């Protein structure tokens, strides 16, 4: 058991985060929405950028979404204390309503005696949040396997359709020549 740092009625400070979305230039296509792929044959083709086409069907836009987390420091009143082994858990602003906050002294989300301490801790967490979130988003732009698969798929479709076109064209040619032969024979 520890001696809690704060007592009932104390004013404490805590950081919270506002997530602000922003759009940045796609790091894969640098905004052009197209990327050059070199195939095993050495042939280079331009395909739609998979990095900024996150939904996979909406089309590449050249931009991707990233998040900034703005740190906000709030002041709260300690309305409950619960000792949890080596840590103390505090209820903040529990004035009988249904909305209140639970934080601890040593956990990830902490309360502090001063705004400055809360701000310093908050900035550290903000960087962590941003790095994690944006890494996750950027990871999606690195799926080269899918891009290559897409390119191969479309090229195969083209080849197949070209073969079909050639076949149908040859049939039309035969029909034409039949008509000609008929006319000549009349
Ligand atoms: Zn892109």
| For range 78-87, the mean pLDDT | 90
Residue 119 scores a pLDDT above 80: yes
CA 143–ligand 1 middle distance (angstroms): 12
CA 35–ligand 1 middle distance (angstroms): 7
75 in a structural domain: yes
CA 61–ligand 1 middle distance (angstroms): 7
CA 46–ligand 1 middle distance (angstroms): 12
For position 92, what pLDDT does the model report?
93
* pTM attached to this predicted model: 0.56
How many folded domains does the chain comprise?
1
159 in a structural domain: no
119 in a structural domain: yes
| For range 50-70, the mean pLDDT | 79
102 in a structural domain: yes
87 in a structural domain: yes
Ligand 1 is an ion; residues with CB less than 5 A from it: 26, 28-29, 49, 51-52
Q: Buried (b) or exposed (e) across 164-182, using 16+ Cβ within 10 A?
A: eeeeeeeeeeeeeeeeeee
**How far is the C-alpha of 119 from the C-alpha of 32, rounded, in Å?**
39
CA 25–ligand 1 middle distance (angstroms): 8
CA 52–ligand 1 middle distance (angstroms): 4
DSSP one-letter code for 50? S
Residue 114 scores a pLDDT above 90: yes
CA 59–ligand 1 middle distance (angstroms): 10
CA 149–ligand 1 middle distance (angstroms): 17
pLDDT digits (tens, 9 = 90+) for 139-163: 765 555 566 667 777 777 788 888 8
177 in a structural domain: no
34 in a structural domain: no
Q: Which domain holds residue 110?
A: 11-26+62-145
71 in a structural domain: yes
Of the candidates 121, 172, 106, the residue with the CA atom closest to the CA atom of residue 15: 121
pLDDT digits (tens, 9 = 90+) for 167-178: 888 887 777 777
Confidence of residue 18 (pLDDT cuts 50, 70, 90): confident
Residue-averaged pLDDT of the chain: 83
For position 183, what pLDDT does the model report?
58
CA 145–ligand 1 middle distance (angstroms): 15
């Amino acid at each position: 058991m520890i001696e809690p740092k704060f007592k009932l009625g104390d004013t404490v400070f805590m950081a919270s985060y506002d997530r602000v979305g922003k759009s940045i230039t796609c790091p894969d296509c640098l905004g052009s929405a197209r990327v050059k792929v070199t195939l095993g044959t050495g042939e280079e083709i331009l395909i739609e950028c998979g990095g900024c086409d996150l939904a996979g069907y909406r089309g590449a836009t050249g931009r991707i979404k990233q998040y900034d987390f703005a740190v906000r420091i709030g002041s709260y009143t300690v309305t409950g204390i619960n000792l949890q082994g080596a840590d103390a858990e505090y209820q903040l602003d529990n004035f009988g309503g249904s909305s209140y906050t639970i934080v601890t002294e040593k956990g990830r989300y902490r309360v502090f005696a001063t705004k400055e301490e809360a701000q310093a801790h908050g900035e550290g967490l903000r960087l962590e949040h941003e790095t994690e979130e944006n890494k996750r988003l950027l990871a999606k732009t690195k799926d080269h396997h899918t891009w290559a698969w897409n390119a191969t798929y479309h090229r195969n479709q083209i080849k197949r359709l070209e073969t079909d076109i050639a076949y149908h064209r040859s049939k039309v040619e035969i029909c034409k020549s039949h008509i000609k032969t008929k006319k000549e024979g009349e």
